[in-house]
A and B are shown apart, each in its own frame.
Chain A
Amino acid sequence: MSTRAHVLVLLVTLSTILFLLRLLRRHKLPARYALLWLSVGGVLVALAASPTALDRASAWAGISYAPATFFLGAITLLFLVVVQFSWELSRLDDRTRDLAEEIAILRIERTGSADEGAPDELAERPE
């Protein structure tokens, strides 16, 4: 990579990290995700700052085309993140449905107590 490309990558990576830190400070990003993405950013900075790091890593892994090493790492990481998200999403889905079911059952019981004549401020009343 040319020096210009390295500076460009470095700038993009640094601004991404700043963006993440801003999200974190505004409590828009939970700490555990922030930690993940910040460490990804850290690796990118290291790669951009040291031109030969990727080549040396590729040689060590036996990969002759250095960018392939980068893509392999990136795709593996993104794949794992997406699998983790699917898992989390289905868990949230289950919990949401559980709550909806509980609400439906609680609604019956509220109506039931209203029928028995108990004062119920939240019950619907004819205008």
Chain B
Amino acid sequence: MPSPSDPAGHRLPPRVPAPATGTYGRRTLVVIPALDEEQALPGVLEELASQLPCADILVVDDGSTDGTAAAARKAGVAVAELPFHVGIGGALQTGFRYAVRHGYEGAVQFDADGQHDATQVRTLLQALEAGADLVIGNRFADAEDSYDVGRVRGRAMGVLRVLVRLLSGQRFVDTSSGFRAFSARMLQYFAKSYPTEYLDSVESLLLACRAGFRVVEVPVHMRPRTMGSPSTRSYKLLYHYLRVIVSMIGQGAPRAENRLTS
């Protein structure tokens, strides 16, 4: 198996690993980026605790103005409080850095708004076990409880699908899914270079493909959002599409320090 190149210097050495706590023999960290999710978060944490009693949870509070961090602490999970709002990409990267420094063997990205089903985390972890570096939870997997996104977003996602196929040479259905799992070497890569702007999900998918990581998509069940509203505004999508395309052109030659040595 090829191992990621390790440009010495930037990363602190991993701490002494805590006792193995992960499901499927992996030490797994569930990273939950949260912005003003005081209402939904306790339920999400409770569900995760009952479904995955051994996984560690890190809530990354991305500059919330409500009691998100307090709600997470009350539930007894680790909370990384960003000093100001940096956006979803930065919040995730915080979680990845933490995971790398503490020697986690894998991480799961999980939404704070309750739309991800905790029982489905195992599905993602199984794919990691099978050797994938990045596992995408496909929210459109089965027709019966298919995830309804509305017409404009649906069309927008269709465009993304084509775009991703052209740029990555691989077929993905749910390119912007925020329900994902990351292997240890994927974490090391993203701890340094996770995309920071909106559509980070699509951009990170493309980055992983370009850098030669094994990216797979697995079907997951979804729930409708219980709180909050979708973060997407259709009139902003065009700008972000163009931005992703431009940034992919910029990534045409992956930065040497991050390229896999196979």
Contact = CB atoms under 8 A, between A and B. Distances in A.
Listed residue (B73, B94, B98) with the most chain A CB atoms within 10 angstroms of its CB: B94
Interface in B11-48: none
A125 interface: no
A103 B83 contact: yes
Interface string A94-113: 10010011011101100110
Contact of B81 (A94, A97, A104): A104
Nearest to B101: A105
Interface residues of A, number: 11
B227 interface: no
Contacts of B78: 108, 111-112
Contacts of A107: 79-81
Contact of A100 (B79, B83, B98): B83
B168 interface: no
A101 B79 contact: no
Contacts, number: 41
B137 interface: no
A101 B81 contact: no
Listed residue (B58, B78, B80, B93) with the most chain A CB atoms within 10 angstroms of its CB: B80
B90 A105 contact: no
A32 to B, nearest CB: 27
A100 B90 contact: yes
A79 B94 CA distance: 35
Nearest to B79: A108
Given A108-B78, A111-B79, A100 B84 contact: yes
Nearest to B63: A100
A111 B84 CA distance: 18
Contacts of A101: 82, 86, 90, 93-94, 97
B198 to A, nearest CB: 14
Contact of B60 (A94, A104, A112): A104
Interface in B56-95: 58, 60-61, 73, 78-84, 86, 90, 93-94
Nearest to A93: B196
A104 B80 contact: yes
B101 A104 contact: no
Given A97-B196, A108-B98, A103 B79 contact: no
26 contacts: A97-B86, A97-B90, A97-B196, A100-B83, A100-B84, A100-B86, A101-B82, A101-B86, A101-B93, A101-B94, A101-B97, A103-B82, A104-B60, A104-B80, A104-B81, A104-B83, A105-B94, A105-B97, A105-B98, A107-B79, A107-B80, A108-B58, A108-B78, A108-B80, A111-B79, A112-B78
Given A101-B86, A108-B98, 13 more contacts: A97-B86, A100-B82, A101-B94, A104-B61, A104-B80, A104-B81, A104-B82, A104-B83, A104-B94, A105-B98, A105-B101, A107-B79, A111-B78
Interface of A: 94, 97, 100-101, 103-105, 107-108, 111-112
